[in-house]
Structure 1
Amino acid sequence: MRNLDWDGYLNARDLGGLPTSASPTGATVPGRIARGPRREFLTEQGWRDARGWGLAGVVDLRCADEVGARDGDPVVADGASEGVRIVNAPTEDQDDPEFREVCFPILDSPEYWRHNFRILPQLVLGALTAIADAPSGVLVHCSAGRDRTGMVSALLLGNAGVAPEAVAADYAESVRAMAGANSHAPTHDRQATWGQDEVDRWIAQTAPIVEDVAADVDGAFAVIGADDALRTRLRERLTAP
């Protein structure tokens, strides 16, 4: 099963198990990369569940000032994450004037992904490099595990030969999982109040955008500045035996 049952942790999925001709097994390999929301949602049992999956590293896509416990987060012992390699690799610079002007109004939509590639390619490249450098069994997360994590997951899956429709379906799962949930995002998250009707309309509206990004993953990686060696490392993480 791709859904990961880590205590306290909604919207967690393994990027393995999706059909691709790039893998000898015909599917992306499980146990290599997981996606999810902010790790502060994890209870102590959740950390144990994650370790049982094979968690060895975390790549946190949030800006530094977003990191840390918030009201309502579970209280966990200081050593809960001991031994897990945690790297902060933000995909956004929220002080960048162009990023603020262009992306802030659409941060909860895949519409902003291509703008992020163009305006801050070095940050997206840094996040991808951090994933390639991470130990196998890495969790990639942001706040909701939907938008920044969705963007990076679309690149990883598209690069691994997963069909655009399947990439869009993976994004849609995160929209469904986080609707009505408070993710403590840095900007207002209108989806935190959505019900099923809003979710269905949103998925119908945004699925073509996600599919277009996944279908043109070569173009996206070119804009970001990722070379063939990095792309191969990322692809093999999800496809090599």
Structure 2
Amino acid sequence: MRELRWGGVRNIRDLGGLPSSTSPTGETIYGRIARGPRRELISKEGWESARSWGLNTVVDLRCLHETGAREQDPEVDERSTENIVVLSTPTEDQESEEFRRTCFPILDSPEYWVHNWRILPELVRNSLRAIATSPSGVLVHCSAGRDRTGMITALLLGNAGVPPSSVVDDYAQSVRAMAGTPHQGQAGDRQAEWNSQQREDWIESVSPIVYEAAEDTQRAFDMIQLDRRDQRRLREMLTQPSVIFSAHKC
């Protein structure tokens, strides 16, 4: 099952089990990388499930001002997350004038991905390198687990030889999971008020953008200047069943 039931939190999925042209098994490997929304939503029982899955590292794509527990979040003691490494690698600089001007109107759309790569290549590169240099059992998350996480996931899956149509389906799954619910981040979110028809119309309209990103991941990697070794490491993390991935330095 790709859906991970970590305390009932929606939109947490294993990136394993997808068709892959680069995997000897024909599909991506379970237990290597997962995607999800803000980790503060995970309960004590959810963290126990995450440990059972094999969670070692959390790669947080949010800006620092977005992090931290909120009043409605479950109470979790420090023991629940003990020995789980949390890496803060924001993909956005919300103080950047160019990023604000270009991306803020479309932050809930994959339209902004290419601008993120162009304006802040080092930040996206750092996020991908954090995953590449971590041991197996990585959770990648932002706020809703849809947009920033969707961007990174599209690159991870496309790089792993997952067909673009399957990457689009994975993105759509997160839109369906989160649309029509209160936004988990700090900025406004059009999708929080959508009904099912608006949601499906949106998926249809933006699917070509996701498809293109997954079809030509090399374009993004070239823009952000991601090292070929990191590209290979990320591919192998999702495709090579016999390799043990421990933390390493590049």
TM bin (shorter chain): over 0.9
Q: Which residue of 2 aligns with 1:26?
A: 26
Identical-residue share of aligned pairs (%): 59
Q: Which residue of 1 aligns with 2:13?
A: 13
Aligned-pair Cα RMSD in Å: 0.8
1:195-222 CA-partner distances (Å, limit 9, x unpaired):
2111100100011110011111111110
Q: Structure 2 length normalisation: TM-score?
A: 0.95
Q: CA deviation at 1:179?
A: 1.2
CA distance in 2, matches of 1:101, 1:80: 40
Q: Which residue of 1 aligns with 2:127?
A: 127
Q: Which residue of 2 aligns with 1:222?
A: 222
Matched residue of 1:58: which SS?
strand
CA distance in 2, matches of 1:155, 1:24: 20
Amino acid at match of 1:209: I
CA distance in 1, matches of 2:180, 2:73: 17
CA distance in 1, matches of 2:48, 2:180: 27
Matched residue of 2:46: which SS?
helix
Task: Map 1:55-66; keep pairs closer than 5 Å.
Answer: 55-66=55-66
Residues 8, 41 of structure 1: 8 Å contact kept: no
Residues 38, 183 of structure 1: 8 Å contact kept: no
Q: CA deviation at 1:52?
A: 1.1
Q: Which residue of 2 aligns with 1:45?
A: 45
Q: Which residue of 2 aligns with 1:148?
A: 148
Q: Structure 1 length normalisation: TM-score?
A: 0.98
Q: Cα gap change, 1:13/1:7 in structure 2, threshold over 3 Å: closer, same or farther? A: same
Matched residue of 1:34: which SS?
strand
1:53-82 CA-partner distances (Å, limit 9, x unpaired):
111110000001111011211111122111
CA distance in 1, matches of 2:131, 2:71: 29
Q: CA deviation at 1:147?
A: 0.1
Amino acid at match of 2:203: I
Q: Which moved more, 1:77-86 or 1:199-208?
A: 77-86
CA distance in 2, matches of 1:21, 1:167: 13
CA distance in 2, matches of 1:106, 1:71: 28
Q: Which residue of 2 aligns with 1:85?
A: 85
CA distance in 2, matches of 1:89, 1:183: 21
Q: Which residue of 1 aligns with 2:179?
A: 179
Q: CA deviation at 1:184?
A: 2.6
Matched residue of 1:6: which SS?
coil
Q: CA deviation at 1:228?
A: 1.1
CA distance in 1, matches of 2:90, 2:134: 15
Residue correspondences, number: 241
Amino acid at match of 1:32: R
Residues 41, 74 of structure 1: 8 Å contact kept: yes
Q: Which moved more, 1:183-192 or 1:226-235?
A: 183-192
Q: Which residue of 2 aligns with 1:103?
A: 103
